[in-house]
Amino acid sequence: MGCFKTTSGGSNWFRWNDGMPEGNIVSDMKSYFTGGDFYVLAGTYGRGMWTRKDDELLGNGNISTNTPDKFELYQNYPNPFNPSTSIKFSLPADSKVQILVYGIAGNLVRTVLNDEMNAGIHSLNFDGADLSSGVYFYKMISTGYSQTRKMILIK
C-alpha cells in the first residue's frame, strides 16, 4: 500500500512514501502551488496527510527553465536513502557534466552522468539497489567546477 513513483515511464516502480505510515491506502491526492513551489498532498484512510515537494516528484531531466547564476551540486534527497535518491544540480551555462559516485575507499562505483547538458537546474535519479549499505560520495565535475557530497545508503 502507499505511494509509488516511476522514473522509467512505468517500466520500474519504487515505493515513494517516506514518512507515510505503513499499510495505508491513499484516499485522495491533490496538487497545489505555494510560494512558487509545487506540492502533492495525499490523504490516507484514517491516518492523516502526507506531502511531497516538486523536486522529489521529478525523475531525470531539467526541472527549471530559469538560468541559475552559478554551478551548484545540491545535497541528495532523501539521505539516507534506500534504494534510490535524487541528485539535483544547477548549471549557469551549457556544459559538459560528469556525476560520479565513489565508495568510502575512493573507488569509482558508477558514472551516473557524462554528457553535455543545457543551462538550468537538473535532477536525476540514482539507484543503489545493487550496492551494499554504506557511505558513498557523489561528485559533479563541469567546466571549471568540481564539488563532492556525501550520501548514505541504508538497506
Q: Residue 59 has what pLDDT? A: 44
Q: What is the mean pLDDT of each run of 10 residues along the chain (155 residues)?
A: 55 57 48 52 58 51 65 93 92 94 96 91 91 97 95 94
Task: Let me know: does 49 contact 32? Beta carbons within 8 Å.
Answer: no
Task: Let me know: does 96 contact 142? Beta carbons within 8 Å.
Answer: yes
d(CA 102, CA 128): 12
Task: Report the run of H or E that residue 61 belongs to, with start and end.
Answer: strand 61-62
Kindly tell me the number of DSSP H helices and DSSP E strands found in the chain: 1, 13
Q: Residue 57 has what pLDDT? A: 47
Helices (H), 21-143: 54-57
Per DSSP, 77 falls in state B
Closest-CA residue to 88 (of 107, 64, 109): 64
Closest-CA residue to 155 (of 71, 65, 69, 84): 84
Domains with residue ranges and CATH for the chain: 4-57 (no CATH), 61-153 (2.60.40.1930)
Closest-CA residue to 100 (of 128, 141, 142): 141
Q: Residue 66 has what pLDDT? A: 62
The pTM of the full predicted model, rounded to 2 decimals, is: 0.60
Q: Residue 121 has what pLDDT? A: 87
